Structure formats: C-alpha cells, structure tokens
Amino acid sequence: MAAPYRLLVSDMDSTVAETETIVDMAEALGITDTVAAITERSMRGELDFRTALDQRVMMLQGLELSRIEAIAREVRLSVGAEALLDACRAAGMRTVLVSGGFDLIADLVGAALGFERVVANRLDFENARLTGRMLEPIVTAETKLAVLREECASLGIDAGQAVALGDGANDIEMIRAAGLGVAYQGKPMTRDAADLCLDDLNDLIPHLQPASH
Ligand SMILES: [Mg+2]
C-alpha cells in the first residue's frame, strides 16, 4: 500500500532545531533577554511577525559572519528529528524546510537532516558583519503556505497529501492547509489549528507509514 503522504514541509526553530536560533545569535551579543522577549510575543501572535523580526535583526547589527557560522555548527537538533526525516525518505516523501530564521543556519540544519529544499531569510552583511537588515523577500506565514502550495503543484498532489509541521504562529496557515497539520510542542494558537499535537517528533513517524491492514 502506498504511503499516505508525499510531502513534508517543516519549520526549523523550536521544531527540528531545539532552540530559537535567533536567541542563540543574541546570546553571542549578550542581549538574550531582550531578543527572547520579542520572540515570545511574536510566537504567541501578540506582535506582528515582520515587525518582531525586523526589530530583532536590527539588534543583531554588527554580529560577525564567523560567529554566526560557529552558532550554525552548534545548533542542537530536536530529539526525533533525524528519525523523522529518515522515515520521510523511507516513505518516499519530498522534504522541505521553511524557516523564518536565517539562511546560514537553516542551510546547515537542512543539510544535516537531509532536507531536499531549504527556504529561509537571507541576512545582509557588510565587511563580514550583520548590517541589521535582511534581503527581501522575507519569509512569513504566507511564504510558508505558498511554499507548501508550490511544492504540491510541482509534485502534482493535493494539499491533502502534505504534512506541515511547526510550533509557532507563523506556521498556522500551512498547518491549516495541509492534509496533516502537526503542532510540535506548539503554542496554544498553533495547537488549536493542528490536526495532531505532539511533544515528541518520533510520534509523527507512524502517521507516515502505509496502513498495515
Ligand atoms: Mg518555530
């Protein structure tokens, strides 16, 4: 019997990566609390995603490229993330990482887990230091949904055959659109939108396998 799903679109921060990587970057500048507070408000849907992102990236101005590369190498993957991606490959699913985080980190996390495509925000550098800006277009909730739809179209499948996985407010639209929308350690709003709420990524694996009967 064929596997029930053909596509996984997943968030990165606090989903397949254990932390909010923007907070890891703030740590390098000693401004963790300020940045974490904005992240929390954004993830709870209290602060517009774009405004929150712009504010935080501006606070990271001056951070060296080499420090970000070092942070990227040290990102901890969530428990079960590797097993989940292995299971997707075994089920013949295409895997796409969509992140409101940053390309330097998402590219490494994506490669470590074997994602076939990575979509993330692109940081702007001058003299190997962050300018405090990102390159347009910014990855938003709408981008995540658009990537899901675009991937379904190119696979010739219905959104019902897609799995969307995330924890935050900007994952809600893709979670609603997917046949299996999954909240992993999700914020309340995200859990409300999901078909399935999990605290362990391993618990998603049985849903990807063909029914045994
Ligand atoms: Mg997240």
- The per-residue pLDDT for range 140-195, each reduced to its tens digit, is 999 999 999 999 999 999 999 999 999 999 999 999 999 999 999 999 999 999 99
Is 157 part of a structural domain of the chain? yes
Three-state SS at 56: helix
For the cut 70, the answer to whether the pLDDT of residue 212 exceeds it is no
The answer to whether 13 is a known catalytic residue is yes
Contact 144, 103 (CB under 8 A): no
Measured in angstroms, how far is the CA atom of residue 50 from the centroid of ligand 1? 14
The whole-number pLDDT of residue 164 equals 98
Higher-confidence residue: 40 or 14? 14
The number of distinct structural domains making up the chain is 1
The whole-number pLDDT of residue 127 equals 97
Is 35 part of a structural domain of the chain? yes
- What percentage of the chain reaches a pLDDT higher than 90? 84
The whole-number pLDDT of residue 41 equals 87
Is 2 part of a structural domain of the chain? no
Is 98 part of a structural domain of the chain? yes
CATH number, residue 166: 3.40.50.1000
Measured in angstroms, how far is the CA atom of residue 57 from the centroid of ligand 1? 16
Measured in angstroms, how far is the CA atom of residue 47 from the centroid of ligand 1? 15
The whole-number pLDDT of residue 198 equals 98
The answer to whether 24 is a known catalytic residue is no
38-66 pLDDT, tens digit per residue, is 988 887 888 888 898 899 999 999 999 99
Is 1 part of a structural domain of the chain? no
Q: How far is CA 179 from the centre of its chain?
A: 18
Task: Catalytic residue, from 11, 24, 103, 167: name it.
Answer: 11
The CA-atom distances, in angstroms, between 111 and each of 72, 80, 82, 97, 103 are 11, 16, 11, 10, 12
Is 164 part of a structural domain of the chain? yes
Is 183 part of a structural domain of the chain? yes
The whole-number pLDDT of residue 1 equals 64
Measured in angstroms, how far is the CA atom of residue 135 from the centroid of ligand 1? 20
The whole-number pLDDT of residue 213 equals 53
Section 107-122 average pLDDT? 98
The whole domain housing 123 covers 7-208
